[in-house]
Amino acid sequence: MAEPGSQQAAGRQWPVEHQVVEGDRNGPSAWFQYGLFRAAVALFARLPAGGRRALSRIIGELALRLDRKRTRYAAEFIAQALPQASEAERARLVLAAWRHLIEISLEDVRFNAQVLGPRLNEHFELELCDDARRLLAEGGGSLGITPHVGAWEMLPTIWSRLNRGPVYVVARPPRNRPLSRFIQAAREARGFRVLHRHGAVESLTRVVQGGGVVGLLLDQRARGKTMLAPFFGRLAHCERSIPLLAKRLRRPIVFVACYRTERPFHYRLRASKVLWPEDLARLSPEELLGEINREMERMILATPEQYFWLHERYRNAPTRAEP
């Protein structure tokens, strides 16, 4: 029997044909690693919620000590974002970042079996601002922006149920090809489709002009042609193409985050703000990027213990603006 998400997806008109978003590493070693992953998933799936939390703490503490580079990135990032936090609070958030990454990964592989189906809506609490309700009622193409906070992998599942048109997300696949195929199939069973990060601008344009929504994660360090803008008070390399494209498309931008709650497989979706075409027209690309960053900061600070602090956000960026 097909997954409920795939049944819904089959009845939609998709502006961009299905893309295979796969890694480039294949061969015996890749399949061996994939087999280990599937075996670990099967083992973890049998653990009760308390066992998964205990395991995440053990693995998180090991990762914190073994991966000193990412741990250092997290400590520096948190110090920049939360300058008033005590040293103990910063250390707690570094460990929380590792634990959250592990817990959300374990939760993700069981999400389809636990959540998809006729009672899917019961797994989500909705907090929609008036503009977000208007956007969903009117329909039409838009861009959805979220940072790596909370249950970002689960967010498109409920948004694809709320939104009239098709939902896509832009992603970079894992290098391991069989694993990337497994992940894409699991994601698309939830009712949305995946666009490859490379060459996404053309596909993104077609989706939005065709009445669909494209979800974007814009809080990590951009590469290639970038634009410098403050992120938590310090200059960072940001995606240059998105504010330029948003102004050209003249379609709304909605800011949405999906947070985990205390209950297993239960989430709180918060759509906090919409920038309408008339708002975009008044902003320069630099001003729009600043507005995007400020709203992502607010979404992160709502639950900093659920944020992915582990990437080097400020690499190769100047510490202050040029005079």
* Cα angle 226, 288, 73; round to 5: 50
Whether 317 maps to a domain, the answer reads: no
Whether 6 maps to a domain, the answer reads: no
Burial 251-271 (b: 16+ CB within 10 A, else e): bbbbbbbbbbeeebbebbbbb
Please give the pLDDT value at position 10.
52
Whether 111 maps to a domain, the answer reads: yes
Record the tokens describing residue 167, joined without a space: 């939902």
Whether 323 maps to a domain, the answer reads: no
Whether 3 maps to a domain, the answer reads: no
Whether 22 maps to a domain, the answer reads: yes
Q: State the residue range of the domain holding 84.
A: 18-306
Please give the pLDDT value at position 321.
52
The residue among 155, 142, 193 whose CA lies nearest residue 171 is 193
Instruction: Dump the DSSP string for 148-189.
Output: SBBSTTTHHHHHHHH-SS-EEEEE---SBHHHHHHHHHHHHT
Question: What is the chain's pLDDT, residue by residue, as a tens digit (323 residues)?
Answer: 233 344 445 557 899 989 999 999 999 999 999 998 888 877 777 778 788 778 888 888 888 888 999 999 999 999 999 999 999 999 999 999 999 998 888 888 889 999 999 999 999 999 999 999 999 999 999 999 999 999 999 999 999 999 989 999 999 889 999 999 999 999 999 999 999 988 788 999 999 999 999 999 999 998 888 999 999 999 999 999 999 999 999 999 999 999 999 998 999 999 999 999 999 999 999 999 999 999 999 999 999 999 999 999 999 888 765 44
Record the tokens describing residue 112, joined without a space: 């389809």
- pTM to 2 decimals? 0.90
Please give the pLDDT value at position 5.
41
- Count structural domains, the chain: 1
Whether 321 maps to a domain, the answer reads: no
What is the torsion angle, in degrees rounded to the nearest 10, for the CA atoms of residue 231, residue 236, residue 240 and residue 242?
Answer: -30
Whether 272 maps to a domain, the answer reads: yes
The residue among 123, 178, 133 whose CA lies nearest residue 154 is 123
